[in-house]
């Protein structure tokens, strides 16, 4: 059976501040998801949370970008927002940028990751869900899962993975997409996806047969709204086993923490901490950024799960390292590189402060530096 997995997520109000969700809001979203199953639109649905964000994991046979499925998620988030407003939760309706639904939630605030495939004999998938970060947080782990044989032994050992995977990369500023094939174009891929402020991995395909392997949300709220409205807190769907990385290979990148953008006011760098569902509550300096891994076996379109995959003492070391990195970064306070560089601060509230001070700058006769990319000062051949 050909099925579609759609994961649509939004922050519709935090409890308390931006730290977590309120049970009444989650219950309202679940009510809509269940109604979608009852009326036959969905095969199944599962509602998960990470920090102040809620994701609806849905299975159906309607394909990607289906208006009815997107509308169901939108309506669920609108209804949840009403509850959040009633309780005066923080930032109620934060991610719902549009006044009314218009065909597809893309561009309206919520984050979306979708994939369509023929259900295999056994179909394990993992939905990763992060808070206090942005879509490019998946660039590094996706590279390791699908292109690094030091992480994924199957790339070397399993003949069905040996041809490698292709990455679809989006330039979030132009909206253009490029597909790069690994291992052949690995270094080209890394030129782009190492630049996390601009390039985001959107999807991964298996070279052998073009099968979809992973799909991520790429929505950048600030670029949609043109101002700071909270971070994009992304989702990622990954298929595992039988020609895809094993579940353990998919989880392995998270055992060694790395730094992502999005901590405190969306303006700071912090380590991405892999946590159990219960611990997905970023409180210290509104963080550090968190990620959960919800595992499902899909059975005739039904979501068997979720299984809380980071609820494992084997990830304690990663969590401790995150705490140590968090201390080190906090030492920098408001100084870079804990604070994000100026280009990334453009969509925060900082420009308002700069605006107030701009007339205080006076010319003291120093030559003006040439802007990067102007050609001046480049190394001669």
Question: Is 132 near ligand 13P (CB under 6 A)?
Answer: yes
Q: Provide the sign of the torsion angle of the four alpha carbons 4, 154, 192, 233, taken in this order.
A: positive
Distance CA 345, CA 351 (A): 8
- Residue 253: both structure tokens together: 């990148």
90 is catalytic: no
CB of 348 to ligand 13P, least distance (A): 8
Question: Is 308 near Mg ion (CB under 5 A)?
Answer: no
Residue number, 11 or 344, with CB nearest to Mg ion = 11
DSSP 97: -
Distance CA 43, CA 36 (A): 9
Residue 248 interaction partner, one of Mg ion, ligand 13P, none, beta carbon < 5-8 Å per kind: none
Question: Is 233 near ligand 13P (CB under 6 A)?
Answer: yes
173 is catalytic: no
Given the DSSP bridges, would you call strands 53-60 and 2-10 parallel, antiparallel or unpaired? antiparallel
CB of 353 to Mg ion, least distance (A): 22
Distance CA 96, CA 296 (A): 28
Question: Is 281 near ligand 13P (CB under 6 A)?
Answer: no
Question: Other CB atoms closer than 10 Å to residue 17's CB: what's the count?
Answer: 13
CB of 185 to ligand 13P, least distance (A): 34
32 is catalytic: no
Binding track, positions 20-59, relative to Mg ion; x by CB under 5 A: -------------------------------xxx------
Q: At what angle do helices 67-86 and 23-38 cross, to 10 degrees?
A: 150
The percent of the chain in helix, strand and coil, each rounded to the nearest 5, is 30, 25, 45
Binder of Mg ion out of 5, 7, 8, 11 (CB under 5 A): 11
Q: Give the binding site for ligand 13P (CB under 6 A).
A: 11, 18, 51-52, 91, 94, 131-132, 230-231, 233, 264-266, 286
Q: Where does this chain bind Mg ion (CB under 5 A)?
A: 11, 14, 18, 51-53, 91, 131, 230, 233
Residues with a catalytic annotation lie at 11, 228, 231
């Amino acid at each position: 059976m050909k099925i579609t997995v759609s994961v649509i997520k939004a922050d519709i109000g935090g409890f308390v501040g931006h730290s977590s969700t309120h049970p009444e809001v989650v219950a309202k979203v679940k009510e809509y998801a269940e109604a979608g199953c009852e009326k036959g639109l969905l095969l199944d649905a599962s509602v998960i949370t990470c920090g102040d964000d809620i994701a609806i994991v849905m299975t159906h046979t309607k394909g990607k970008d289906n208006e009815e499925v997107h509308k169901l998620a939108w309506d669920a988030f609108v209804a949840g927002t009403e509850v959040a407003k009633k309780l005066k939760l923080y930032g109620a309706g934060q991610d719902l940028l549009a006044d009314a639904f218009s065909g597809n939630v893309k561009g309206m605030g919520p984050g979306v990751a979708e994939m369509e495939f023929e259900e295999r004999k056994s179909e394990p998938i993992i939905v990763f869900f992060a808070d206090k970060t942005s879509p490019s947080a998946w660039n590094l782990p996706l590279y390791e899962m699908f292109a690094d044989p030091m992480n994924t032994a199957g790339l070397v050992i399993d003949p069905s993975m040996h041809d490698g995977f292709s990455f679809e990369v989006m330039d979030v500023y132009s909206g253009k997409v490029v597909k790069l094939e690994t291992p052949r174009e690995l270094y080209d891929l890394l030129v782009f996806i190492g630049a996390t402020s601009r390039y985001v991995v959107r999807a991964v395909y298996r070279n052998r047969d073009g099968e979809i392997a992973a799909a991520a949300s790429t929505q950048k709220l600030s670029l949609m709204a043109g101002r700071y409205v909270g971070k994009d807190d992304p989702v990622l769907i990954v298929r595992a086993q039988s020609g895809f990385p094993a579940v353990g290979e998919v989880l392995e990148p998270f055992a060694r923490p790395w730094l992502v953008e999005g901590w405190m006011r969306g303006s700071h760098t912090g380590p991405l901490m892999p946590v159990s569902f219960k611990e997905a509550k970023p409180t210290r300096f509104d963080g550090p950024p968190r990620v959960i891994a919800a595992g499902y076996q899909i059975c005739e379109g039904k979501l068997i799960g979720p299984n809380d995959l980071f609820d494992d003492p084997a990830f304690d070391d990663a969590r401790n390292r995150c705490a140590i990195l968090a201390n080190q970064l906090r030492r920098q306070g408001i100084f870079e590189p804990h604070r994000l560089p100026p280009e990334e601060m453009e969509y925060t509230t900082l420009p308002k402060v700069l605006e107030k001070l701009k007339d205080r700058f006076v010319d003291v006769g120093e030559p003006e530096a040439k802007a990067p990319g102007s050609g001046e000062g480049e190394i001669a051949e």
